Amino acid sequence: MREPERSGDLPPNATEGAENRSAGGGTESDAGAHLRASTGPTRRIIAIGGGKGGIGKSLVAVTLAIELVRRGMRVVLVDCDLGGANLHSLLGMEYPKGTLSDFVLRRVGSLAELVVPTPVAGLGLISGARNAIQVANPMYQQKMRLMRALQHIDADVAVLDLGAGTHYNVVDFFLLADHGVLVVVPEPTSVENAYRFLKAAFLRRVKAMDAGLGIREILQEVVRPGGQRPLVPAEMVLAVAERDPAAGAALEREMATFRPLLIVNQVREPADLTLGDGMCDAARRLFGLDLIYLGHLRHHELVWRAVRAREPSYYERPGTPFALELSAVAGRLLELPTAGGIRP
Protein backbone atom coordinates (compact mmCIF):
# COMPACT_ATOMS: atom_id res chain seq x y z
CA MET A 1 0.00 0.00 0.00
CA ARG A 2 1.54 3.24 -1.08
CA GLU A 3 1.46 6.12 1.28
CA PRO A 4 1.21 9.79 0.53
CA GLU A 5 4.45 11.35 -0.38
CA ARG A 6 5.76 13.62 2.29
CA SER A 7 7.24 16.18 -0.01
CA GLY A 8 5.48 19.40 -0.81
CA ASP A 9 5.64 22.06 1.77
CA LEU A 10 3.00 24.63 2.56
CA PRO A 11 3.21 26.70 -0.59
CA PRO A 12 3.09 30.44 -0.20
CA ASN A 13 -0.47 30.75 -1.38
CA ALA A 14 -1.66 27.27 -0.55
CA THR A 15 -3.59 28.44 2.36
CA GLU A 16 -5.39 30.89 0.05
CA GLY A 17 -29.02 17.36 -32.49
CA ALA A 18 -30.30 14.07 -32.27
CA GLU A 19 -33.53 13.02 -30.61
CA ASN A 20 -33.11 12.86 -26.92
CA ARG A 21 -32.20 9.50 -25.51
CA SER A 22 -33.75 8.67 -22.19
CA ALA A 23 -31.42 7.33 -19.53
CA GLY A 24 -33.16 4.00 -19.90
CA GLY A 25 -32.36 3.85 -23.59
CA GLY A 26 -35.70 5.12 -25.04
CA THR A 27 -36.37 8.49 -26.65
CA GLU A 28 -38.00 11.65 -25.45
CA SER A 29 -38.14 15.09 -26.95
CA ASP A 30 -37.28 18.49 -25.48
CA ALA A 31 -35.53 17.06 -22.49
CA GLY A 32 -33.78 19.62 -20.41
CA ALA A 33 -36.21 22.44 -21.15
CA HIS A 34 -37.38 22.24 -17.55
CA LEU A 35 -33.82 22.73 -16.45
CA ARG A 36 -33.56 26.18 -17.90
CA ALA A 37 -35.47 28.10 -15.24
CA SER A 38 -33.24 29.46 -12.53
CA THR A 39 -34.92 29.22 -9.21
CA GLY A 40 -32.36 27.08 -7.30
CA PRO A 41 -30.73 26.45 -4.98
CA THR A 42 -29.23 23.22 -6.23
CA ARG A 43 -30.06 20.51 -3.74
CA ARG A 44 -26.85 18.56 -4.04
CA ILE A 45 -23.53 19.40 -5.62
CA ILE A 46 -21.18 16.56 -6.48
CA ALA A 47 -17.66 17.34 -7.73
CA ILE A 48 -15.45 14.78 -9.44
CA GLY A 49 -11.71 15.36 -9.08
CA GLY A 50 -8.59 13.35 -8.60
CA GLY A 51 -5.45 15.26 -9.33
CA LYS A 52 -4.17 13.19 -12.21
CA GLY A 53 -5.24 13.58 -15.83
CA GLY A 54 -6.75 10.84 -17.96
CA ILE A 55 -7.96 8.58 -15.15
CA GLY A 56 -11.69 8.71 -15.92
CA LYS A 57 -12.96 11.76 -14.02
CA SER A 58 -15.08 12.93 -16.93
CA LEU A 59 -16.38 9.47 -17.70
CA VAL A 60 -17.38 9.03 -14.06
CA ALA A 61 -19.02 12.48 -14.02
CA VAL A 62 -21.08 11.74 -17.13
CA THR A 63 -22.12 8.22 -16.19
CA LEU A 64 -22.87 9.15 -12.59
CA ALA A 65 -25.07 11.99 -13.85
CA ILE A 66 -26.89 9.55 -16.15
CA GLU A 67 -27.38 7.12 -13.28
CA LEU A 68 -28.89 9.88 -11.12
CA VAL A 69 -31.28 10.81 -13.95
CA ARG A 70 -32.25 7.16 -14.14
CA ARG A 71 -33.14 7.38 -10.47
CA GLY A 72 -35.57 10.19 -11.20
CA MET A 73 -33.45 13.23 -10.46
CA ARG A 74 -33.08 16.38 -12.54
CA VAL A 75 -29.39 16.69 -13.12
CA VAL A 76 -27.13 19.30 -14.68
CA LEU A 77 -23.59 18.36 -15.59
CA VAL A 78 -21.15 21.23 -15.44
CA ASP A 79 -17.87 21.01 -17.28
CA CYS A 80 -15.63 22.80 -14.79
CA ASP A 81 -12.49 21.59 -16.53
CA LEU A 82 -11.71 25.16 -17.41
CA GLY A 83 -8.66 24.20 -19.42
CA GLY A 84 -9.93 21.16 -21.34
CA ALA A 85 -13.69 20.87 -21.63
CA ASN A 86 -14.88 17.63 -23.21
CA LEU A 87 -18.14 16.48 -21.62
CA HIS A 88 -20.04 17.27 -24.81
CA SER A 89 -17.87 14.71 -26.61
CA LEU A 90 -18.56 12.05 -24.03
CA LEU A 91 -22.27 12.69 -24.55
CA GLY A 92 -21.89 12.47 -28.33
CA MET A 93 -22.78 16.15 -28.81
CA GLU A 94 -21.32 18.97 -30.81
CA TYR A 95 -19.65 21.75 -28.82
CA PRO A 96 -22.56 23.81 -27.46
CA LYS A 97 -22.61 27.44 -28.53
CA GLY A 98 -22.80 28.89 -25.05
CA THR A 99 -20.13 27.84 -22.58
CA LEU A 100 -18.79 28.76 -19.17
CA SER A 101 -16.54 31.28 -20.90
CA ASP A 102 -19.65 33.32 -21.61
CA PHE A 103 -20.49 33.39 -17.93
CA VAL A 104 -16.98 34.05 -16.69
CA LEU A 105 -16.53 36.85 -19.23
CA ARG A 106 -20.01 38.24 -18.43
CA ARG A 107 -21.48 37.71 -21.86
CA VAL A 108 -24.45 36.08 -20.14
CA GLY A 109 -25.87 36.99 -16.76
CA SER A 110 -26.76 33.56 -15.43
CA LEU A 111 -25.75 29.94 -15.74
CA ALA A 112 -29.36 29.08 -16.53
CA GLU A 113 -28.84 30.62 -19.97
CA LEU A 114 -26.08 28.11 -20.65
CA VAL A 115 -27.86 24.88 -19.75
CA VAL A 116 -28.47 22.90 -22.93
CA PRO A 117 -30.45 19.71 -23.21
CA THR A 118 -28.39 16.61 -23.86
CA PRO A 119 -29.35 13.47 -25.74
CA VAL A 120 -30.16 11.96 -22.35
CA ALA A 121 -33.64 13.04 -21.33
CA GLY A 122 -33.57 14.89 -18.01
CA LEU A 123 -29.87 15.69 -18.17
CA GLY A 124 -28.72 19.23 -18.87
CA LEU A 125 -25.18 20.29 -19.69
CA ILE A 126 -23.24 23.47 -19.09
CA SER A 127 -20.28 23.14 -21.35
CA GLY A 128 -16.78 24.09 -20.38
CA ALA A 129 -14.86 27.14 -21.38
CA ARG A 130 -13.78 27.33 -24.99
CA ASN A 131 -11.06 29.94 -24.75
CA ALA A 132 -8.97 28.26 -22.12
CA ILE A 133 -6.30 30.91 -21.89
CA GLN A 134 -8.70 33.57 -20.71
CA VAL A 135 -10.75 31.35 -18.49
CA ALA A 136 -8.60 28.48 -17.22
CA ASN A 137 -7.29 30.67 -14.42
CA PRO A 138 -10.14 33.02 -13.66
CA MET A 139 -9.51 36.05 -11.53
CA TYR A 140 -10.67 35.83 -7.94
CA GLN A 141 -13.89 37.77 -8.49
CA GLN A 142 -14.77 35.76 -11.58
CA LYS A 143 -14.29 32.54 -9.70
CA MET A 144 -16.35 33.67 -6.73
CA ARG A 145 -19.18 34.68 -9.03
CA LEU A 146 -19.04 31.29 -10.74
CA MET A 147 -18.95 29.45 -7.43
CA ARG A 148 -21.96 31.35 -6.16
CA ALA A 149 -23.88 30.71 -9.37
CA LEU A 150 -23.15 26.98 -9.24
CA GLN A 151 -25.10 26.83 -6.01
CA HIS A 152 -28.18 28.15 -7.78
CA ILE A 153 -28.55 25.86 -10.73
CA ASP A 154 -32.13 24.72 -10.80
CA ALA A 155 -31.68 20.98 -10.51
CA ASP A 156 -31.76 18.25 -7.92
CA VAL A 157 -28.10 17.58 -8.50
CA ALA A 158 -25.28 19.48 -10.17
CA VAL A 159 -22.36 17.23 -11.11
CA LEU A 160 -19.13 19.19 -11.58
CA ASP A 161 -16.38 17.62 -13.67
CA LEU A 162 -13.06 19.05 -12.56
CA GLY A 163 -9.82 19.34 -14.46
CA ALA A 164 -6.60 17.59 -13.57
CA GLY A 165 -4.08 19.04 -11.14
CA THR A 166 -4.12 20.32 -7.58
CA HIS A 167 -4.18 24.03 -8.26
CA TYR A 168 -6.47 25.88 -5.90
CA ASN A 169 -8.65 26.84 -8.85
CA VAL A 170 -9.48 23.14 -9.14
CA VAL A 171 -9.51 22.33 -5.44
CA ASP A 172 -11.91 25.16 -4.57
CA PHE A 173 -14.62 23.63 -6.76
CA PHE A 174 -14.06 20.30 -5.03
CA LEU A 175 -14.53 21.95 -1.66
CA LEU A 176 -17.64 23.80 -2.78
CA ALA A 177 -19.45 20.51 -3.31
CA ASP A 178 -21.54 18.60 -0.81
CA HIS A 179 -19.71 15.54 -2.03
CA GLY A 180 -16.15 15.82 -3.32
CA VAL A 181 -15.36 12.57 -5.11
CA LEU A 182 -11.76 11.62 -5.68
CA VAL A 183 -11.14 9.26 -8.60
CA VAL A 184 -7.97 7.18 -8.59
CA VAL A 185 -6.67 4.40 -10.78
CA PRO A 186 -4.43 1.65 -9.40
CA GLU A 187 -1.18 3.28 -10.48
CA PRO A 188 1.40 4.90 -8.21
CA THR A 189 1.24 8.24 -10.00
CA SER A 190 -2.52 8.45 -9.62
CA VAL A 191 -2.39 7.49 -5.94
CA GLU A 192 0.34 10.07 -5.29
CA ASN A 193 -1.64 12.76 -7.06
CA ALA A 194 -4.75 11.87 -5.10
CA TYR A 195 -2.91 12.34 -1.80
CA ARG A 196 -1.43 15.57 -3.09
CA PHE A 197 -4.94 16.67 -4.00
CA LEU A 198 -6.17 15.83 -0.49
CA LYS A 199 -3.34 17.79 1.06
CA ALA A 200 -4.08 20.80 -1.14
CA ALA A 201 -7.76 20.53 -0.15
CA PHE A 202 -6.81 20.33 3.53
CA LEU A 203 -4.73 23.51 3.25
CA ARG A 204 -7.48 25.35 1.41
CA ARG A 205 -9.95 24.39 4.12
CA VAL A 206 -7.54 25.68 6.73
CA LYS A 207 -7.41 28.96 4.91
CA ALA A 208 -11.19 29.17 4.60
CA MET A 209 -11.78 28.57 8.32
CA ASP A 210 -8.89 30.57 9.66
CA ALA A 211 -10.59 33.89 10.33
CA GLY A 212 -8.92 35.27 13.43
CA LEU A 213 -7.62 31.96 14.75
CA GLY A 214 -4.06 32.48 13.63
CA ILE A 215 -3.73 28.90 12.40
CA ARG A 216 -1.97 29.92 9.25
CA GLU A 217 0.66 31.77 11.18
CA ILE A 218 1.26 28.78 13.44
CA LEU A 219 1.48 26.52 10.41
CA GLN A 220 3.90 28.81 8.65
CA GLU A 221 6.18 28.47 11.68
CA VAL A 222 5.88 24.72 12.14
CA VAL A 223 5.91 23.45 8.55
CA ARG A 224 9.27 24.88 7.66
CA PRO A 225 11.63 23.39 10.20
CA GLY A 226 14.87 23.80 8.26
CA GLY A 227 15.99 20.67 6.49
CA GLN A 228 13.32 18.38 7.89
CA ARG A 229 10.61 16.75 5.88
CA PRO A 230 7.33 18.68 5.64
CA LEU A 231 4.57 17.69 8.02
CA VAL A 232 1.58 15.66 6.95
CA PRO A 233 -1.79 17.22 7.80
CA ALA A 234 -2.35 15.06 10.91
CA GLU A 235 0.96 16.35 12.28
CA MET A 236 0.01 19.91 11.41
CA VAL A 237 -3.16 19.58 13.47
CA LEU A 238 -1.11 18.27 16.42
CA ALA A 239 1.42 21.06 16.05
CA VAL A 240 -1.30 23.69 16.06
CA ALA A 241 -2.96 22.08 19.09
CA GLU A 242 0.33 22.12 20.99
CA ARG A 243 0.79 25.82 20.45
CA ASP A 244 -2.82 26.84 20.80
CA PRO A 245 -5.27 24.23 22.11
CA ALA A 246 -8.36 26.24 21.10
CA ALA A 247 -7.13 26.69 17.53
CA GLY A 248 -6.16 23.00 17.44
CA ALA A 249 -9.64 21.97 18.57
CA ALA A 250 -11.25 24.23 15.97
CA LEU A 251 -9.04 22.74 13.28
CA GLU A 252 -9.89 19.23 14.36
CA ARG A 253 -13.63 20.00 14.34
CA GLU A 254 -13.30 21.48 10.87
CA MET A 255 -11.42 18.49 9.55
CA ALA A 256 -14.03 16.13 10.96
CA THR A 257 -16.56 17.70 8.59
CA PHE A 258 -14.32 17.24 5.56
CA ARG A 259 -15.25 13.80 4.29
CA PRO A 260 -14.11 13.31 0.72
CA LEU A 261 -15.26 10.24 -1.18
CA LEU A 262 -13.16 7.80 -3.16
CA ILE A 263 -13.77 5.76 -6.31
CA VAL A 264 -11.11 3.38 -7.61
CA ASN A 265 -11.49 3.30 -11.38
CA GLN A 266 -10.04 1.02 -14.05
CA VAL A 267 -9.55 -1.95 -11.77
CA ARG A 268 -7.96 -4.81 -13.72
CA GLU A 269 -6.65 -7.29 -11.15
CA PRO A 270 -7.84 -8.71 -7.83
CA ALA A 271 -4.94 -6.95 -6.08
CA ASP A 272 -6.35 -3.59 -7.21
CA LEU A 273 -9.38 -4.20 -5.03
CA THR A 274 -7.43 -3.54 -1.85
CA LEU A 275 -6.44 -0.04 -2.91
CA GLY A 276 -9.62 1.72 -1.78
CA ASP A 277 -9.56 0.50 1.81
CA GLY A 278 -5.78 0.97 1.97
CA MET A 279 -6.07 4.59 0.93
CA CYS A 280 -8.81 5.22 3.47
CA ASP A 281 -6.60 3.77 6.23
CA ALA A 282 -3.66 5.93 5.15
CA ALA A 283 -5.83 9.04 4.92
CA ARG A 284 -7.03 8.51 8.50
CA ARG A 285 -3.56 7.86 9.86
CA LEU A 286 -1.62 10.54 8.07
CA PHE A 287 -4.25 13.13 7.26
CA GLY A 288 -6.66 12.57 10.14
CA LEU A 289 -9.29 12.45 7.40
CA ASP A 290 -12.35 10.32 6.93
CA LEU A 291 -12.01 9.30 3.31
CA ILE A 292 -15.12 7.33 2.40
CA TYR A 293 -14.72 4.53 -0.10
CA LEU A 294 -17.64 4.36 -2.54
CA GLY A 295 -16.39 1.35 -4.47
CA HIS A 296 -14.61 0.42 -7.65
CA LEU A 297 -15.23 0.38 -11.38
CA ARG A 298 -13.40 -2.17 -13.45
CA HIS A 299 -11.67 -1.34 -16.71
CA HIS A 300 -14.24 -2.20 -19.36
CA GLU A 301 -12.93 -2.57 -22.87
CA LEU A 302 -16.38 -1.79 -24.30
CA VAL A 303 -16.53 1.49 -22.39
CA TRP A 304 -13.12 2.48 -23.65
CA ARG A 305 -14.10 1.64 -27.24
CA ALA A 306 -17.36 3.58 -26.90
CA VAL A 307 -15.54 6.68 -25.67
CA ARG A 308 -13.03 6.41 -28.48
CA ALA A 309 -15.78 6.09 -31.07
CA ARG A 310 -17.80 8.98 -29.56
CA GLU A 311 -20.63 6.51 -29.30
CA PRO A 312 -22.04 6.85 -25.79
CA SER A 313 -24.95 4.43 -26.10
CA TYR A 314 -22.94 1.65 -24.47
CA TYR A 315 -22.10 3.46 -21.27
CA GLU A 316 -25.52 5.12 -21.15
CA ARG A 317 -27.26 1.78 -21.14
CA PRO A 318 -28.51 0.36 -17.84
CA GLY A 319 -27.76 -3.21 -16.87
CA THR A 320 -24.31 -3.53 -18.43
CA PRO A 321 -21.51 -4.69 -16.09
CA PHE A 322 -20.18 -1.12 -16.06
CA ALA A 323 -23.61 0.40 -15.33
CA LEU A 324 -24.17 -2.04 -12.47
CA GLU A 325 -20.89 -1.09 -10.82
CA LEU A 326 -21.62 2.58 -11.34
CA SER A 327 -25.10 2.15 -9.89
CA ALA A 328 -23.66 0.54 -6.75
CA VAL A 329 -21.28 3.48 -6.34
CA ALA A 330 -24.11 5.99 -6.87
CA GLY A 331 -26.30 4.17 -4.36
CA ARG A 332 -23.62 4.47 -1.69
CA LEU A 333 -23.14 8.15 -2.44
CA LEU A 334 -26.86 8.89 -2.18
CA GLU A 335 -27.00 7.29 1.27
CA LEU A 336 -24.64 9.95 2.59
CA PRO A 337 -25.98 13.12 4.15
CA THR A 338 -25.34 16.27 2.13
CA ALA A 339 -22.39 17.69 3.96
CA GLY A 340 -22.46 21.25 2.66
CA GLY A 341 -19.23 22.46 1.18
CA ILE A 342 -17.29 25.66 1.61
CA ARG A 343 -19.60 28.24 0.05
CA PRO A 344 -18.56 31.74 -0.87
Ligand X SMILES: Nc1ncnc2c1ncn2[C@@H]1O[C@H](COP(=O)(O)OP(=O)(O)OP(=O)(O)O)[C@@H](O)[C@H]1O
Instruction: Indicate the residue whose CB is closest to Mg ion.
Output: 58
Looking at beta carbons only, is 50 or 117 nearer to ligand X? 50
Contact flags string 83-112 toward ligand X, x per CB under 6 A: -x----------------------------
Region 106-135 residues binding Mg ion, contact defined as CB under 5 A: none
299 contributes a contact to ligand X by CB under 6 A: yes
266 contributes a contact to Mg ion by CB under 5 A: no
Q: How many residues bind ligand X (CB under 6 A)?
A: 18
CB of 65 to ligand X, least distance (A): 13
User: Do residues 236 and 223 touch, judged by C-beta distance below 8 A?
Assistant: yes
**One of 11, 25, 26, 54 touching ligand X (CB under 6 A):** 54
CB atoms within 10 A of CB 167: 13
**One of 45, 55, 159, 232 touching ligand X (CB under 6 A):** 55
78 binds, among ligand X, Mg ion, none (CB under 5 to 8 A by kind): none
The span of 96-104, 236-244, 296-304, 330-338 binding ligand X (CB under 6 A) equals 296-304
164 contributes a contact to ligand X by CB under 6 A: yes
**One of 58, 63, 190, 193 touching Mg ion (CB under 5 A):** 58
63 contributes a contact to Mg ion by CB under 5 A: no
58 contributes a contact to ligand X by CB under 6 A: yes
Chain centroid to CA 258: 14
Contact flags string 121-160 toward ligand X, x per CB under 6 A: ----------------------------------------
The span of 1-9, 119-127, 137-145, 302-310 binding ligand X (CB under 6 A) equals 302-310
The span of 38-46, 242-250, 251-259, 293-301 binding ligand X (CB under 6 A) equals 293-301
314 contributes a contact to ligand X by CB under 6 A: no
Q: How far apart are CA 218 and CA 101, in angstroms?
A: 39
190 contributes a contact to Mg ion by CB under 5 A: no
**One of 219, 294, 297, 323 touching ligand X (CB under 6 A):** 297
321 contributes a contact to ligand X by CB under 6 A: no
Which residues, listed in sequence order, are joined to residue 160 by a DSSP beta bridge? 47, 78
300 contributes a contact to ligand X by CB under 6 A: yes
Instruction: Round to the nearest angstrom and report the end-to-end CA distance of the chain.
Output: 37
User: Do residues 317 and 323 touch, judged by C-beta distance below 8 A?
Assistant: yes
Q: How far apart are CA 133 and CA 42, in angstroms?
A: 29
Contact flags string 195-234 toward Mg ion, x per CB under 5 A: ----------------------------------------
Look at residues 172, 173, 188 and name the one whose alpha carbon lies nearest to residue 45.
173
User: Do residues 20 and 31 touch, judged by C-beta distance below 8 A?
Assistant: yes
CB of 140 to ligand X, least distance (A): 24
- Interface positions with ligand X (CB under 6 A): 53-59, 81, 84, 164, 265-266, 297, 299-300, 303-304, 307
- Interface positions with Mg ion (CB under 5 A): 57-58
